[in-house]
Amino acid sequence: MSLYPSESAAAGLKVTTGSCLAKKQRGEKISCLTAYDYPFARLLDESGIDVLLVGDSWGMAVAGGESTLAVTLEEMLIATRAVRRAARRALVVADMPYGSYQVSQPEAVGNAIRLVKEAGAEAVKLEGGERRAGVVRAIVEAEVPVMGHIGLTPQSVNLQGGYRVQGRSAAAAEQLLRDARALEQAGAFSLVLEGIPRELAARITAAVGIPTIGIGAGPDCDGQVLVLHDLLGLSFRPRPKFVRAYADLAPAVRAAAEAFRTEVESGAFPADRESYHMPSEAAPVRQPHEA
């Protein structure tokens, strides 16, 4: 029982790192979507999504970049603030962008704290397995929950030779199992498994006591995450095999913009009902002696 009730009670029980673990233990699935701004984050929160991931995928889905590598910590702080203002029920997890945790443990801890202290993140996510265990442990010791991320790690796109499925060989699969266990032992509260065979994802999910969140990792993970713009049909790149679009908003947005342009050009917008008027002149004041 919480000692500190909040407004979120009206919208349902607040999702926490602990409640995510409880879902795994009960065999219940965890839903996760990326969010980068207030309007979408509010709608996702109201729809009951468990985890809002403020992903560095912002650099591609929103900013139009070729990869996530150019995303800065300042950009993540801005996006996370917007999402946190909207979220009442969902757990808000902020990605640590490339360069914010690779240089040194003290710098990584400081940047993780900034995402919590300045932007309101309730946890951070970082990529890498065994080699990041020390960083994960240091951040957790600073009281910041950490979501791990192994398999296809977009910040390692140059090292991995592109966006390729990982863990297909026996040696690579065993390394990912070691990565998962190392991150769990370091204190991570959950793991994103990206771009790996479903059979391997099932093995990892069974091997660790923390929730696994899959993206391109098959149905046997404890939860699933997608990039919001892929889910809504607002992506302009070829759709990965693992994406299922639940809406196609691009034609509706395009049609609305075209209708606006047409009415502006014709003079139909704005009409009188969308215009303001000067106040009518007040009636002259009669003097007492006037008839």
Listed in order, strand segments (DSSP E) in the chain are 30-34, 51-54, 91-95, 123-125, 146-151, 190-194, 212-215, 223-226
pTM reported for the whole predicted model: 0.92
Domains contained in the chain, number? 1
What is residue 57's three-state secondary structure?
A: coil
117, part of any domain: yes
Q: Tell me, what CATH number does 116's domain have? A: 3.20.20.60
In a domain, 228, yes or no: yes
Across 180-201, average pLDDT: 98
| Residue 6 scores a pLDDT above 90 | no
Tell me what pLDDT residue 232 has.
Answer: 98
Question: If you write DSSP's letter for every residue of 128-166 in order, what string do you get?
Answer: BSGGGHHHHHHHHHTT--EEEEEES-GGGHHHHTSS---
23 domain-assigned: yes
For residue 2, what pLDDT is reported? 54
> Cis omega (within 30 of 0) on the bond before 5?
no
Catalytic site positions: 194
Residue-level pLDDT at 288: 60
Which tens digit of pLDDT belongs to each residue from 226-265?
Answer: 999 999 999 998 889 999 999 999 999 999 999 999 999 9
Residue 280: inside a domain? no
Residue 263 inside a domain? The answer is: no
Residues spanned by the domain of 228: 8-251
User: Which residue, chain included where needed, has tokens 């912002």?
Assistant: 58
Cα separation of 50 and 81, whole Å? Answer: 18
Residue 225 falls inside a structural domain: yes
Give the residue among 74, 83, 128 at the shortest CA–CA distance from 101.
Answer: 128
- What does the pLDDT average to over 266-271? 97
* pLDDT tens column, 120-177: 999 999 999 999 999 999 999 999 999 999 999 999 988 888 889 999 999 999 999 9
Is 278 within the bounds of a domain? Answer: no
Residue 100's pLDDT is 98
- Which residue's structure tokens are 């995928």? 57
Residue 49 lies in a domain: yes
Side chain identity at residue 25, one-letter code: Q
